[in-house]
Structure 1
Amino acid sequence: MLYDALPTSAASKTSSLRRHKRRYAYLCVFATLVVVGFLSFAVRTEHVQSKLAEIQLQLCTPALTAVVPEEQTPRMYLRVGPLGGEGMGSVLQHFKQSIVLSQVLDSSLHFGWNEVWDHRYSQSDIYNANAESQTLNVTKACRMQDFIPHEDRDAVVRGWCAGEDSAIARLDEARTRMADCTGILDTEVDELMQDLNGCIMPWVRSRLIPPPSSSSPSAAHPLPYSSDPSRRLSVGIHIRWGDTAPPPGTDISTHDFYGSMNFPDIARVLTDLRAFSSNPLEITIAMEEADRAVIALLNLEAEEYTLLDSPQTQALDDLRVLSRSDVLLLGESSYGVLTHLLAPPGLTIVKGGGLGKFRNTSGFGRHVVYLDDYKAEDIELLLIPL
């Protein structure tokens, strides 16, 4: 079952209004005939008959207008409590359930506790920025945990994302019971979901991609490479800071990274991309607290790449710039996944995959290829729009 087919959806509301209007029209005609017949029989005067149209209007108009609802701003779904001090990608793992539940309940998710942590930016500010401005209506504020308890949330949300009938029925019931809640409070403090990114991808894009009217230099996505293969091919690489700080004596050039693609694999894919493209590559490398000596292990000349290592207050801008790449070379770090979720149609090559972070994330036209399955011919997927 799709939620846009539920009785409270826009389509079904329109259908319901039509049914109500027909019923009131029938009642209106019946009532008018009764009144007309009575008055015509009782008093056959020109004055009374001249009032018949007015009587009909008085009988019918209130009934017809009473069932037409006014346009309303979605109620606020407020996630109460701090989001924590992790980065933009990691913190997303702690409120995916709130994203799903707020969408099912036709409400707008907002975050409180506007705190600035060690990374010097507020997660609430970032994820609230593109939300519709509103205040919490506490006339009848409901607590989410009173309808879907903590111990049931994970299974219900996973089931809904997978289209399981039992989970959909459970949320249908909660939706009906919460229909008259003017605001929703979510007090969850213990959530960790590394997967399900495909389920929340539209919401993430709506919050973190600047609107077309934005003056941000990272606002506009380029046209897909398939629309103009003669242009330069852009390649984005994320090097996770923690991966390049192993114990002393570790050979980083051959080290097996946790959240980034290993350097030998990056070099191999870059070789394939150069063979595929007739123009020099546009390479962008994102690395927090970048170490040029580490990047030098990729055997790139300084003029061959652009380094993204802005102050933390500009972290979102760096994320957006990296996401605009035609090809992304990533590991399973949360930052890398978030970059992919924002990316335009293109190709993402991923080291790993065991955590399921990239599962079902091709909804916006981007191919995902896991490094274990990668072949040079996969680059031709850039020419095949999804």
Structure 2
Amino acid sequence: MDAAQIQTIVEAAVAAALHFLRQIWQRAESFGWVSILLVADANGTVRNITNQHGCLTKSNVRNHAVTYLRQQGRKHQASVCLRKLIMGSITSRMADRLITRRIDYTVNAAPAAAQPDAAPPAPIMKEDGTCMLFQLIRMVSVETMTTIAIITKKLNNLEHIMETAKSNVELFNTMVEDLITQLQARSAQVPPMIANLFDGYANCTDSAFVKYMETKRDSYEDGTLLLDNHGSIMIIALEKYKIMVDRKIWLRKSEEQMEIMTLKAEVTKLRGKPNSKPTSSKKPPSKGKKGKDDDKFAWKLVSPKEGDPQQKTVNGKKYIYCPYHQTTKWVLEVNNKGVVHRTGCEKMKEALTSNKATEGTDDKTSEAAALTNAIEDAGTNTLLPIIEDEEL
């Protein structure tokens, strides 16, 4: 019998453990170890320890090991080979953890007493390969209801599995099959999978594949497509995936997707391109005119004090005070277009219209407006805003 090392590293990942157990079973079939891997449970039902370990207890496995360790036969030799195979196929870290639990896979192989009233023979302690395998399985996959609940939750959320597989349908199917195998190994009920699988395939990023699977789902739901089990739809999806990969059309973008990607690239390029001209938060002065914040016009920002005249002449031009302007307080009495300000002031018309719309309902608003004007007047001592030059 060949006990060469299996090239499998068993760590805490259940998927890796399942692959390891499949290899153990294949080796057992090749070299005649199958009998030591078939263990009777408490009801006498024979279970395959590599895929039905959740149905067995440590006592079941130990009782099974005693039956062949007491004899120097092929089963005894198979147990030794299995033990060496396990220790040669796991990591040193896992081996150290397993050795600390040696008592769990060490069995008393002393023969039974010849007579019922005779003294029991001295114990003969032997390490058993089947018990070691069972202990390794328990270390890797904890047998609890919590584990079953977690696996079931994953099978009910195959959209996430598709994301994890990055739309690789073959990998997706393998991950789903491994989860189902884990449930079956624990004799747990597998949830209805056909609808869940359709949901998972719908989350693939290949739009053509998604449309294809949607037609299959419609056919299944209206009864024209008969599926015996979840494996049937997995085969259909896998065949379509392989065909698209062979034709090199898998994940190929549609014309609409390509157009969107092109537009996004153009937008990104424009956003990253530096401006050819510096931007300014202030409006540049008009050609041939002095800046609007020039000291020459600073006096126009200052409201007259109480009792001061509401009219003045500057540089031969007549100005009047207009309380409706938030920035420029002094404006031409008659502008260059011949419009008399007292009758043609747009700011005054806007204010009067606004007052009529809210008359009788917003006394507090009037107070707030007055306070705002006072703040703006005070602000003229520190910052000169853009002047509304009505001389232009």
TM band (smaller chain): under 0.3
Larger radius of gyration: 2
Q: What is the TM-score when the length of structure 2 is the normalising length?
A: 0.23
Higher helix share: 2
Higher strand share: 1
